[in-house]
């Protein structure tokens, strides 16, 4: 049972345009969400997070939107740059860091920025 789903294995976007990566979750206990970026031969690096008390969080070119009723979040990258080409993972968990919980990860979306 996939509790966190990233339904697009890959996405191709023109440089300078907006990239929108989507993530859906099924567990209503999840109230903290993170996005990570991964380059080949490197570990994932933290990008941006959002808790359920917010519906939007911005950090520079990156904005994450959370729609709790739809159990859906999206990552917007504006404008897209060649260095943004990577695999993007969505992860979710209950907010409290507790040994009963763990981060649940999506399968990732490979973003390709075309020059």
Partner 1 sequence: EAGVTQSPTHLIKTRGQQATLRCSPISGHTSVYWYQQALGLGLQFLLWYDEGEERNRGNFPPRFSGRQFPNYSSELNVNALELEDSALYLCASSRTGIEWTLHFGNGTRLTVT
State the residues that interact with partner 1 by CB under 8 A.
4, 6, 32, 34, 36, 41-46, 49, 89, 91, 93, 97, 99-108
The nearest distance, CB 50 to partner 1, in angstroms, is 12
- In the complex with partner 1, the residue whose CB is nearer, 42 or 70, is 42
- In the complex with partner 1, the residue whose CB is nearer, 13 or 91, is 91
| 70 phi and psi angles, rounded to 5 deg | -90, -5
C-alpha pair distances (Å), 87 with each of 4, 12, 57, 101: 16, 12, 20, 25
Alpha-helix residue ranges (DSSP H) falling in 4-67: none
- In the complex with partner 1, the residue whose CB is nearer, 99 or 115, is 99
């Amino acid at each position: 049972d996939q509790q966190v789903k990233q339904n697009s294995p890959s996405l191709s976007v023109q440089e300078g345009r907006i990239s929108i990566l989507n993530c859906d979750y099924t567990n209503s206990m999840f109230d903290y969400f993170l996005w990570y970026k991964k380059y080949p031969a490197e570990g994932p690096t933290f990008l941006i997070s959002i808790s359920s008390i917010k519906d939007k969080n911005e950090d520079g070119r990156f904005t994450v939107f959370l729609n709790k009723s739809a159990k859906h979040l999206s990552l917007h990258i504006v404008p897209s740059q060649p260095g943004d080409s990577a695999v993007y993972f969505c992860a979710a968990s209950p907010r409290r860091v507790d040994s009963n919980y763990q981060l649940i990860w999506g399968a990732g979306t490979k973003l390709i920025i075309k020059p």
